[in-house]
Amino acid sequence: MFSFQPQEYTLKQTEETFRSVPSSKTFTNSFSAIEEAKEGQFMDSMRVQNNNNPFEESMRQANLRDKVSSEAALLEPCPPFLQQQQHSKQDSCNSVSSIDTTFSHRLRRFNSSSSVGSQQSAGTFNGLPLSPTTTSGMLKKVAKFALQPGVKLLKNEDTAKLMSSPTDSTFFIDVRPFTEFNSGHVTNSINLNIPSTLLKRPNFTLQKCLGNITFGDNVRLTNFLESHEIPHKRIVFYEQYEIINGEVPLTLYGCLNKFINDESCDAELCVVESGFQSFGSQYPEFVDNARVSTSSSQQTELKPPPHGRSLSLANIPSTLSVSPNLARFHLPKIPQTPVFKIRHNEEFYDFDNYKVLNEFKFLSLAMNHSTSDKTPKWLTNLFEHSSKLSLIEKFKSLEIEERNRINAMISSDGVGSGIELGFKNRYKDIFPYEHSRVKLASTPTHESHDYINANFVSAPNVSKMKYIATQAPLESTAKDFAKLCHDNRVELIITLTSQFENGVEKCYPYWDDINFDLLETYKSDEIVIRRLKSNPYNEDILQIQILNWSDLDVLLNSQQDDVLKLIYLKSMILERLHKTNDNVIVHCSAGCGRTGTFCTLDSIINEQFVTNESSIEGYNVFDPVFETVEAFRNQRISMVQNLRQYLFIYDCLLNYYENFNGFSNEVFHLLDNLEILVHFFQKESTTVLATKKLSISC
């Protein structure tokens, strides 16, 4: 406990304190959170201690504040004497700005008044409670989520009734961090605290969550969920603090979603409205290892963590009868040979989940052997001799081949420039293979190196199309990108990402910096066409960008029209330029997932295939999708990045052959005479004519 001495602060020092805060809003927001937490009690306490202190007036002025905006920083500095309240540990650990769940549209920035207003804690400061986890000079704001519809809120009295008449029909789950669970929890409850990074993954199912708890708890909960003898199942969740305005932290929201989205869960889901701290104080008889009390003298003092570390297992009082049970966490075994892991390979698909096929309208119909007469023979034969399992197994084999290929490369020290010059890579696990890497004639930023994260890719056994697949430029590599266009005489760039996605930059806006002059722009709802002039090469380049294709995602139903428009525009422009088989630069953010998907679609749509009937009889069915992706992956890492993108290719092909075969639809031909394209072709014609005249005169 420290004493507060306001007389030590002069008005000049107060003004210096305000100036020291990085943002003009930040200090005001910190006052906002504190005052709303205790409804002005802190101000009254200060007035009693020193009625004539000029600092009081500054505090009163700070009371006239704006409400916290949605752009407020998640982490805001706060002077030491204002450290009264801090969010619970699970809130601080799980501060996020977005979540990819069924109810993601319900996300909204949580006002500080509801994030700290109900907290009670061990220590006191000038008569006000102080959180036992207050260990730094920061006041945190966290994102909270509206409680899902159908989840019932329980008062303390209702929870106590369930505890006093125990039956097998009620199951309690504690979503707080393990340290808090171990210091006190509702009798017979289990701890289910999953990291926020896992809760945000749609494919991290309830079964995978249960794999992260102790074996005994896993068995108990699994038996409860699978039992058919319990007439009315009820699962009660609780976290540390009270739920205000129907808004809950990510730990609770995410866990509830896992149960809501699991088909095996038929239990009623409930939440203790007042939180564990309030319930444990009111009904200590229903708490094991309880250390919850409204009196600070009864609290077990938390020792400072050693070596300056933040609050962790080191802060668990040594008198606890229950030791931390971390037996379910194991360090990975060291492999005999080096293993290179790619993040998306382990996170974003599950080969045991065939329900992903239901997302794709045309593919689902084809898997039921319902193809139309418009579908080409090779594609009809493919689905007649394929099953859901076979398509998924094909992609699985591609993943296994790639893993073995990368591990062999790592073990043979054949990593090349992609890792040596990793500071030029947008993502640390996406680097170019050395054998197909595009080498610059001379790199402007580092003259001794020819490196750029780009590969030549093609599938010569399937198509004549050629591409340069590359990552979206960084600000530091935009000059290299312009050199890439110049060295390879590229006149068309296909951009498959927006500049920002979910507040994260996915592509530096190279089209509007010193390396390119922006001459003209055409913009529709989802497609942008830009006419650029590269500097210092004075070369006209056309860029086509699609805006609605998110990272690691696919386009469904009517959204597929935008991809098909892109393919049509590419073919039409190259044909007008008489460069049908020349290289085109294609990039998304990493230059592999959406890039590989687009290049595969473009390669197949622009080719006419003759089916080999003998191969069909031997059930070795011709599949250009598999062959193309396999060829691309031998030239650049992770081309077509996940299972959904792989299945999307089949779905989009079926849509194209059914509704847009040959691009005969009027919607495509409306693009032929766009003014920006007319200007681009006129400029090209003038340039070609001038070049011919120059060669004749020489």
Cα–Cα distance list, 386 to 103, 329, 520 (Å): 35, 40, 48
Which H/E stretch holds residue 610? none
Tokens 């009163």: give the residue: 60
How far, in Å, are 185, 315, 316, 329, 526 from residue 324 at the CA level?
14, 12, 9, 12, 53
Cβ 571 vs Cβ 452: under 8 Å: no
For residue 599, indicate whether it is catalytic.
no
- Count Cβ neighbours within 10 Å for each residue of 445-465 and write b for 16 or more, e otherwise: eeeebbbbbbbbbbbeebbeb
What is the distance between the alpha carbons of residues 276 and 287, in angstroms, rounded to a whole number?
9
Pair 114, 242: CB distance under 8 Å? no
Torsion on CA atoms 6, 9, 11, 16, rounded to nearest 10: -130
Question: What is the DSSP code string of 24-67?
Answer: HHHHHHHHHHHHHHHTTHHHHHHHHH-TT-HHHHHHHHHTS-PP
Bond before 536 cis per omega within 30 degrees: yes
Per the DSSP assignment, residues forming a β-bridge with 458 are 466
Long-range own/partner contacts, residues 476-481 (CB < 8 A, 24 or more apart): 476/423, 476/424, 476/445, 477/424, 477/445, 477/452, 477/453, 478/508, 478/510, 478/513, 478/515, 479/444, 479/445, 479/515, 480/424, 480/440, 480/443, 480/444, 480/445, 480/452, 481/452, 481/510, 481/515
Largest CA distance in the chain: 102
Sign of the dihedral defined by the CA atoms of residues 347, 604, 507, 250, in that order: negative
In whole angstroms, give the CA distance from residue 146 to residue 565. 39
Number of other residues whose CB lies within 10 A of the CB of residue 304 = 10
Number of Cβ atoms within 10 Å of the Cβ of 343: 11
Token couple for 648 = 């999307």
Listed in sequence order, the DSSP H helices in 82-214 are 89-93, 112-116, 156-164, 178-183, 196-199, 206-210
Alpha helices in 368-460 (DSSP H): 377-384, 388-411, 417-420
8 Å CB contact between 253 and 148: yes
DSSP summary character for residue 471: P
> Which two tokens mark 152?
């019932």
Determine which one of 588, 592, 599, 652 is catalytic: 588
- Where in the sequence numbering do the catalytic residues fall? 588
